[in-house]
């Protein structure tokens, strides 16, 4: 159920994926990852399950960094 979903910070997501925060933002921009807000406020979270799914398909680290 949705209640069981684990949310992690962008810092934790970067660590899991082994990418920079800039690359994480790029994943969001290209629709590879979705930002979630758990309550009213600016703090953004990612679903651990979605981050782990991304690890499996492993997009190229440096999209657009050229």
SS (H, E, C) the chain: CHHHCCEEEHHHHHHHHCCCHHHHHHHHHCCCCCCECCCCCCCCEEEHHHHHHHHHHCCCCCCCCC
Q: Which two tokens stand for residue 33?
A: 């990852």
pLDDT in tens, 5-58: 899 999 999 999 999 999 999 999 999 999 998 787 888 999 999 999 988 876
Tell me the pTM: 0.76
Class of residue 46 by CB neighbours under 10 A (exposed 0-12, middle 13-18, buried 19+)? buried
Q: What is the pLDDT of residue 64?
A: 52
Q: What is the pLDDT of residue 66?
A: 39
């Amino acid at each position: 159920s949705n209640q069981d979903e684990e949310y992690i910070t962008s810092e934790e997501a970067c660590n899991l994926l082994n990418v920079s925060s800039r690359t994480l933002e790029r994943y969001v921009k290209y629709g590879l990852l979705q930002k979630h807000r758990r309550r009213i406020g600016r703090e953004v979270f990612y679903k651990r399950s979605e981050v782990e799914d991304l690890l499996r398909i492993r997009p190229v680290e440096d999209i657009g960094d050229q």
